[in-house]
Amino acid sequence: MKTLTLGRQRNNKKVAAGSVKNGVFGMPTEQDLVRAGALIARERNFKDLISIFVEQAQDISRAEVAAFYILKDMEDRKSDLKLIFKRGSYDLPEVIPGSSELVCFLRECHETLIFNNKYTEKADAAASFLKEVLIHPEMKSGMALPLISPPREIGILFVASRTPQIFNRPLFYFLDSYAKLAAGAMQTSLLFDETRSALQKIDALERYQENVFNSMTSMIITTDPNGQIYYFNEPAAEVMGLGHDDLGRNLKEVFKKSITSKTLNTIVKSLEDGNEIIGLEGIYNNGEKEMDYSLNVTPLKTPRGRKEGLTLLFSNQTRENELKQTVHQVSEEKRIIKNAFSRILSQKVIDQIIADPSQLKLGGEKRKMTAVFTDIQRFSTISSELQVQYGEDGPRTLVNLLNLYLTEMSNVVLENGGTIDKYEGDAIIAFFGAPAWMEDHAVRACRSAILIKKRETEIVESVMKPGGEFFNPLTRLIENKVIRKMRPLYTRLGINTGDMVVGFMGTPAKMDYTIMGNAVNLAARLEGVNKQYDTRGILISEYTKDQIGDEFVVRPLSKVTVVGIPVPFRLFELLEIKRDAPKSMLDMVKVWEGGFEAYENRDFASAKKTFAEIYKEDSEDATAKLYVQRCEEFIASPPPKKWHGVDNLTEK
């Protein structure tokens, strides 16, 4: 990370840009970063996102003024910047010329710039433009942070203070990381707005195209690459007697009695060699109607030259150039949508939205689906310790580690057809079964959970390689017993299946595709219950177990009631995909089931013996150890007669 700083010279030594006298400024904490990051992550409206970003930047920096200037034209690198939001009582320029030295400098280096002293005539004349960082004559220190999310340049954030040298190194790292997070959020917000606009444009273009085709007196027929009829307009249906049953039939078969074989062979040749035919004349006669026609045959191709079929225009005049341009434009707009949405939704969601743009509206529907909640064990402690041990480097290391983890785990969900609902700190909330319906949503969710745990192992191997960015921080956390050596990053997952409400919810200005309902809340509770049973990481409810058949290895745990859901239900620990499970695991589960049956039948001595044997074989099986302890407690002090093995869990 590069810091560009201009400081004063004292005894031929530069005063550190991050020094603070008399405790003027306190170092931001990881709680500040998490809180500020969560605020911008939840916002989709671009203007509201900017206001939150500027307000948080000023609040955390304690600066007298904070202002965000946005490029008037984000496609023009020389565009002027206009003031879109500010905090502070100072009058600031409404426009900063794109040709100013400061703007050009920031665009060239893409780095945050700190100016920690009020500009004087003694300063280096070659760097005189740096005083523009102060943004107001009364300011004595300031920062300029360019917001860039490739390939888009968005704008520049200015924060300035009347206190000299207030912007120290910890504050630089915090604001620099926060600006990068905000740039990504702004890029997503802009993509969302552009996608909505593109969808509306596509819908209008398709309606316009349909109206044009049907209002023409000419007859239009299109085919697929195999010469089968794909579309015909109303005049073609009326004059040529085409009906719904003709869709999908081969062109030569449909017109073999009404158009000469020579003409049909010419059309087929155009389909094969991709050559356009203009002004082919003939007579159409199907026994009931006769018509002199002039036929234009236009091959349809993708921008890369792949054959898509033909457009046949039967008429005395042609508009094929206009029609071809319209079709290509619609295809291009759909490509834009795919590129925009591919960053936040699975491919099936994208396809469904393209097929039915009306889904981008408020409202929802009730569906039986499967929800998945994930969380990293002790991540709050990891965050705190990184800040304590690494100071200004802590937030940067934390953000980089979290981004690596979330990217890898999100890819697993998307690869299995799931939809990412949202991120909450280190937690991922996802669901399976909407908007693209899938019968095996519970199976896909459980498969994703197993693969997430396996991907977790790969991530741990990667980050613990000596010399890597995270090796020293994580090694120190292991030495200080903050995290376990065997699982420095340990994911807990809760999975539940049931009726949920799903859809785009919010306001016309801000909508999220999300889920809600008691079944969703239960999945969230299960994630936390992992800790109470010290599982290997994945808990599913009996409702999910009923949907997954025999594809997975699971073992039963106690029936429970959880906070907010008083009806008892059984827990199951999800261990492995059955085809990948070793024989030792399958044997263990059979033994476990016998021991657990004894446990629930109050034969605690027999159950203890079984659980103890399992724990002896695998000392990492903390769940078995837990039930050994429970059996010992019940042997010493038996539960009441009305005990049915239900655990009442009061901790979330």
How is the chain split into domains, by residue range?
4-185, 217-318, 358-549, 572-652
Q: Is 199 left (phi over 0), alpha (psi -120 to 50) or beta?
A: alpha
Mean pLDDT across 498-524: 86
Mean pLDDT across 321-331: 53
CA-based R_g, the chain, Å: 33
**Which option is the CATH number for 358-549: 1.10.3720.10, 3.30.70.1230, 3.20.20.70, 3.90.650.10?**
3.30.70.1230
Tell me: domain 4-185, CATH 3.40.50.800, correct?
no
- What does the DSSP assignment read for 433-498? SSSS--TTHHHHHHHHHHHHHHHHHHHHHHHTSTTSTTHHHHHHHHHTTSS-SS-SS-EEEEEEEE
pTM score of the predicted model: 0.53
Q: Is the predicted pLDDT of residue 148 greater than 50, yes or no?
A: yes
Q: Is the predicted pLDDT of residue 329 greater than 70, yes or no?
A: no
d(CA 425, CA 177): 15
d(CA 148, CA 103): 13
Supply the pLDDT for residue 96: 92
Residue that wins the pLDDT comparison between 122 and 493: 493
Cβ-based burial of 25 (10 A; exposed 0-12, middle 13-18, buried ≥19): buried
- From 148, 204, 209, 193, select the one nearest 337 (Cα to Cα): 193
d(CA 620, CA 486): 10
Q: Is the predicted pLDDT of residue 15 greater than 50, yes or no?
A: no
**Which residues are within 8 A (CB) of 364 and not within 5 positions of it... i.e. 6 or more apart?**
501, 502, 503, 504, 505
Q: What is the pLDDT of residues 588-644, one digit of tens each?
A: 999 999 999 999 999 999 999 999 999 999 999 999 999 999 999 999 999 998 998
Count of residues for the chain?
652
Q: What is the pLDDT of residues 472-485, one digit of tens each?
A: 888 888 888 878 87
Residue that wins the pLDDT comparison between 477 and 518: 518
- From 168, 122, 129, select the one nearest 159 (Cα to Cα): 168
Q: Is the predicted pLDDT of residue 517 greater than 60, yes or no?
A: yes
Supply the pLDDT for residue 25: 45
Average the pLDDT over each of 112-121, 255-264, 320-329 and give the range with the smallest value. Answer: 320-329
pLDDT classification of 185: cutoffs 50, 70, 90: confident
| Fold match flag (4-185 vs 358-549) | no
Q: Is the predicted pLDDT of residue 111 greater than 70, yes or no?
A: yes
Share of the chain above pLDDT 70, in %: 84
Cβ-based burial of 60 (10 A; exposed 0-12, middle 13-18, buried ≥19): buried
| Alpha-carbon dihedral angle through residues 584, 586, 591, 597, given to the nearest 10 degrees | 160
pLDDT classification of 327: cutoffs 50, 70, 90: low
Asked if 161 and 134 touch (Cβ cutoff 8 Å), the reply is: no
Supply the pLDDT for residue 117: 67
Helix, strand, or coil (residue 536): coil
d(CA 146, CA 102): 11
Q: What is the pLDDT of residues 218-232, one digit of tens each?
A: 788 999 999 999 988
d(CA 479, CA 526): 30
Angle, alpha carbons 429-434-439 (nearest 5°) = 110
Amino acid 59 reads: D
Q: Is the predicted pLDDT of residue 294 greater than 90, yes or no?
A: no
Bridge pairing between strands 152-161 and 219-223: unpaired
pLDDT classification of 521: cutoffs 50, 70, 90: very high
Q: What mean pLDDT, rounded, does the chain reach?
A: 83
Tell me: domain 217-318, CATH 3.40.30.10, correct?
no
Q: Is the predicted pLDDT of residue 401 greater than 70, yes or no?
A: yes
pLDDT classification of 337: cutoffs 50, 70, 90: low
